[in-house]
Structure 1
């Protein structure tokens, strides 16, 4: 699975590196795709196995709280810019040097505030209440420890890279798990997209100028959606065996997200807001799995796709 993350990082690096900047720090927000330990530190009550092998076994040789057997996309990005791996915010200790960045992502996190799910009687499904807005608040609290004056912050953040996600996938997953249809999920897209773009706006107003905002994955290729929305009609599947309707839904989310990011670029022309096409990158694996080695060639097996979905993509 570490190869999956490496290929994603290489695809993403092409977009990010076009700025030709030497980043001095990375600040990351999101869910299990990029959580380097916050969920585990918080207790990991919903998924305690994350603290045991085989998690971490192929690189760190022990469980680190990453939902992977090795490194994540954010780890490869840090390596690419010759920066240390990002420490999880909840594990920071007094006096610890975190000038090279911090990871605020939490496995299972949602873009929307957790209170929304509790009001809709599906809060019991949540892995964590540390939504994107909570993560942004953590950053604001930590900011005074990073830079003391407005000028210092301006100089520091000009050389920092901010990742806002991937986030939002769990907002849809939790609803799908309780039986909502694809059409019902569509109703929540504007709210989810607004939460993501609002977080991006807040970071820009706090001083961020280089931001990466990833889109959603082709969820119609994941085992959980292939199970939840399985069909006897062959026309509901594409040539790769992925469900057309969930993938169309993911594209709908991404289209709306890109439209809102375009508005942000117009409002904040000084900021470089990069949309990361996770959908397109992932579809390469499903269209031509043989091009990415033996491991990727076996991704269509139910067990591996399920593992990928729950421990690498949207959780």
Structure 2
């Protein structure tokens, strides 16, 4: 039987706004390898493609731009904290002597599951990210074989085997398709997206990856940018003000992704796969925002144009431009913790913290977490999920 690894043991303490999960032990995976888009990009696009991610990005936590599309930490940063591991360094960042001993982040903003084309924001599609990982692994093991002192900087062969492989990708495939296709045409493309995802997944499996954590995609129709573009006809919006077509597509993508995870388990019995329902967590936050201390569920914190969306596609967060004869700046709001959305496309640190707190409960995982008799008897320790 394969060894069992709890991700982490935690104490869940409920505050007036939303649950905060505090790790009490660092027993976790030896390394994390992440693949995805801007939702989990810790600086890859900024490093590899010289994409400008300037101020005020990073202002809340890092106090300066960190390559993240947010005012602070991302969901993956909070999860790394919970596992008592350092933030993941981007694979593409060679500045500052990055340490990859506990993992590496291949996610880059704008990335898609399908291969990139000339119009893509990022050339680093999922297939390219997996190819980068294969090169990284081969080179790391080659270097370690020559010089054991590099163990302080690179994952060991055992770490690669016991590592957790995380995915958060697919949103940009759906998003981009809607700009040239009808809803029915977008829905018809989902199987193509997931066939490509399956190819990448199995390449990782073939080189020894066994523990996988797969996020589904969030409510695309609730992003201010999408609402501004596709929601001018209010009959196309749901009761929360989100674009119905985009959320239907996201739901369909998630259903088929869930089915694919079930297929993987049947075909690859020694693969340990957890599917995480990010869509439900984020939609619950948006629809019940006031319960969690937020005041603005849809408006961008950093943007231009004022209510209801504070988003103008002509000017990005932090930019100053001449619009209609006047110089204007897309400035951040006074209190980022009151906003769910940061820049029209991405979430604030406060929203990311809420999402991660819900992930850590295990309530949105399939398979669900293991509940021990000890936890039912009131022990302060419990395993929020089981990935073995």
TM-score > 0.5 by shorter chain: yes
Matched residue of 2:124: which SS? coil
1:34 corresponds to which of 35, 40, 44: 40
The alpha carbon displacement at 1:113 in A equals 0.5
**CA distance in 2 between partners of 1:74 and 1:249 (Å):** 24
2:346 is aligned with 1:311:
yes
Normalized per residue, which structure has more helix? 1
The alpha carbon displacement at 1:160 in A equals 1.2
Mapping of residues 222-237 of structure 1, within 5 Å: 222-230=223-231, 232=233, 234=235, 236-237=236-237
User: TM-score, normalized by length of structure 2?
Assistant: 0.66
Mapping of residues 285-296 of structure 1, within 5 Å: 285-294=285-294
Tell me what 1:84 maps to: 86
Tell me what 1:173 maps to: 175
Tell me what 2:185 maps to: 184
Normalized per residue, which structure has more strand? 2
- 238-247 vs 255-264, greater mean Cα deviation: 238-247
2:135 is aligned with 1:141:
yes
Is contact 1:209-1:271 (8 Å) kept?
A: yes
CA RMSD of aligned residues (A): 2.9
Deviations 1:42-101 (A, max 9, x none): 2334xx2x1x21111111111111111101111111111111111110114798541100
Deviations 1:160-191 (A, max 9, x none): 11112x211111222223x4222221121111
Is contact 1:32-1:312 (8 Å) kept?
A: no
Is contact 2:231-2:242 (8 Å) kept?
A: no
User: TM-score, normalized by length of structure 1?
Assistant: 0.80
The alpha carbon displacement at 1:239 in A equals 2.2
**CA distance in 2 between partners of 1:158 and 1:198 (Å):** 19
CA distance 1:76–1:95, change in 2 (3 Å): closer
CA distance 1:82–1:228, change in 2 (3 Å): same
- 188-197 vs 132-141, greater mean Cα deviation: 188-197
Tell me what 1:243 maps to: 243
Q: Which has the larger radius of gyration?
A: 2
The alpha carbon displacement at 1:264 in A equals 0.8
- 191-200 vs 61-70, greater mean Cα deviation: 191-200
Mapping of residues 2-13 of structure 1, within 5 Å: none
Tell me what 2:100 maps to: 98
User: How many residues are paired up?
Assistant: 281
Q: Which runs of 5+ in 2 are unaligned?
A: 1-17, 145-154, 300-308, 311-338, 349-388
Q: Which runs of 5+ in 1 are unaligned?
A: 1-9
**CA distance in 2 between partners of 1:299 and 1:253 (Å):** 23
